[in-house]
Amino acid sequence: MLDLIINSQSFTPKEEGKVGIYLCGATVQSSPHIGHLRTAVAFDVIRRWFIAKGYNVKFVQNVTDIDDKILRKSAEAGIDWRQHAKKYEKEFTKSYDSLNVLRPDSAPHATKYIGQQIKFIKEIIDNGYAYPGEVDGEFTGNVWFDTSAWKDYGELTHQQNADETEVSIEDMRPDKKSPRDFALWKTPNPEDPDSASWSSPWGKGRPGWHLECSCMSANELKGNFDIHGGGLDLRFPHHENELAQSKAAKEPTPSYWMHSAWVTAKGEKMSKSLGNGLSCETLLKQDVLNSYGLRFAFSTVQYKSMLEWTKETLESSITAGKRLRKALLDLSSNCENNCENQNLNSVDLEVSFPQFAEAMNDDFNVSKAMAAIWGALKKAGSQDYIVIRKALQVLGIDPLSDFWDTLFILEEKSKLPNKTLSEEQIKSINQQILERKEAKNSKDFALADRIRDSLQNKGIRLIDTKDGTTFEIAE
């Protein structure tokens, strides 16, 4: 196995042959935006490369299912906060699935970890790095991390205080010793429902947000906590606070921190939409290949580089996918011993495709890795077919994989002249085929069957093949 560099450091796992990765997951308060999707894809590629290198990978991604925004937004919508969180968690999962992101091996929820978080707070208090808030000799019910007692505070980011313009109400609470101390446990807001607080030695309340990741990463990965990932926004204060808490509790901390950069438009951070006013959900629905286009764009820019999004990004990514697909199909048609019978799993990219492997080992330099793929395709013979497909699978963009092939076939089909179906009708059928596939992915077979039956009633018969689903007009 060749050496892998992360942030100019050589990678050494805590236990040989194993890698533990913890990725800060979503706060499920509203729909995912483009930044969330980019982070998910960036770490999916990282995870796939470790797997391709032969490591046994455990990938943990948490779900923040309680937080001030979830409580506020669910109250505004007049629904139970737990239902609100469930609804958006499903949306996140659906979007990740549609971009061919592997599901995490474990997805711990903050609300299922309250007991362990209370234990964690006790450890920090016992070690002398946290204190119950107090005003005029009365306990307030909050517990604060004591940043002045923890001398290494700031070691990760060399940042000590939040931007002065971002001083929140919490920063100025009278029961704190210093404005930068942060909450490990907090009393409920007056408007919070009873179901959103738990009993603790300090009274009713809930854990501070930063704590869940310290607690869950330690419990889920234990001695195999190698990499902690997240979006760039989480470096400070979230990760600075996590590191301080975990060390103060004498719990495991990661050897490597990795942060995925933003998606920008004209240099400004994009989040709410894709600049054309479209939500990610609408965009994914608009055309069957849009999900491929997004995945390709995210997969081919190094995680720590900004991804500048323009009007052309999506289209040129889809065009690249079609070019790849055509080149691979041409190669396989020249294959003497049926290319399809070759086993992808048996390919060791570090041996058979060193230019690709070197780029990936160079801090996951995926744009260099993609250039290696294009270069190899130019002079490829049929013996390279399987190697190139394996490399594309590491990036999650192999257009001939079961996952994507269906979509390319659907899209081609919708372009064929068809006397009886309008373009709109074909689009709608394709959309329903996709929804059925998603339903099957999330094991909702009743929904999958309903979609098939409703199309059947309209005279459209679905045909499931090993390459995916197509349709014909029933006689």
What does 323-344 look like in DSSP terms, one character per residue? HHHHHHHHHHHT-SS-GGGS-G
**Residue closer to Zn ion (CB basis): 239 or 389:** 239
Least distance between Zn ion and beta carbon 464 (Å): 40
**Residue closer to Zn ion (CB basis): 19 or 24:** 24
Size of the site for Zn ion (CB under 5 A): 3
**Residue closer to Zn ion (CB basis): 196 or 213:** 213
Least distance between Zn ion and beta carbon 93 (Å): 18
**Residue closer to Zn ion (CB basis): 217 or 317:** 217
- Kindly tell me which residue out of 23, 213, 327, 339 binds Zn ion, with binding defined by CB under 5 A: 213
From the list 229-237, 268-276, 431-439, 464-472, the region that binds Zn ion by CB under 5 A is 229-237
Identify each DSSP E strand in 288-369 by its residue range: 307-308
Least distance between Zn ion and beta carbon 228 (Å): 6
From the list 81-89, 197-205, 230-238, 304-312, the region that binds Zn ion by CB under 5 A is 230-238
Least distance between Zn ion and beta carbon 109 (Å): 13
User: Quick check: 244 binds Zn ion (CB under 5 A)?
Assistant: no
Q: Which of residues 35-74 bind Zn ion (CB under 5 A)?
A: none
Least distance between Zn ion and beta carbon 450 (Å): 37
3-state secondary structure of 149: coil
At position 15, the amino acid (one-letter code) is E
**Residue closer to Zn ion (CB basis): 156 or 213:** 213
Residues 53 and 91: their CA atoms lie apart, in Å, by 32
Q: Which of residues 376-405 bind Zn ion (CB under 5 A)?
A: none
3-state secondary structure of 23: strand
Q: How many CB atoms lie within 10 A of CB 175?
A: 19
Note the helical H segments in 30-113: 34-52, 68-77, 81-98
From the list 19-27, 143-151, 156-164, 377-385, the region that binds Zn ion by CB under 5 A is 19-27
Closest CA relative to residue 175, chosen from 219, 208, 137: 137
Least distance between Zn ion and beta carbon 113 (Å): 12
Whether the Cβ atoms of residue 347 and residue 373 lie closer than 8 Å to each other: no
Distance of CA 315 to CAs 21, 291, 319, Å?
A: 33, 11, 6
The reply to whether omega before 237 is within 30° of 0 (cis) is yes
Site string for Zn ion, 117-156 (x = CB under 5 A): ----------------------------------------
3-state secondary structure of 106: strand
- Kindly tell me which residue out of 24, 26, 156, 462 binds Zn ion, with binding defined by CB under 5 A: 24
> With the CA atoms of 65, 23, 89 and 33 taken in that order, what torsion angle do they form, in degrees rounded to the nearest 10?
110
**Residue closer to Zn ion (CB basis): 21 or 213:** 213
Least distance between Zn ion and beta carbon 23 (Å): 8
Least distance between Zn ion and beta carbon 244 (Å): 12
Query: Residue 376: exposed, middle, or buried by beta-carbon count in 10 A (0-12, 13-18, 19+)?
Result: middle
Could you list the residues that contact Zn ion (CB under 5 A)? 24, 213, 230
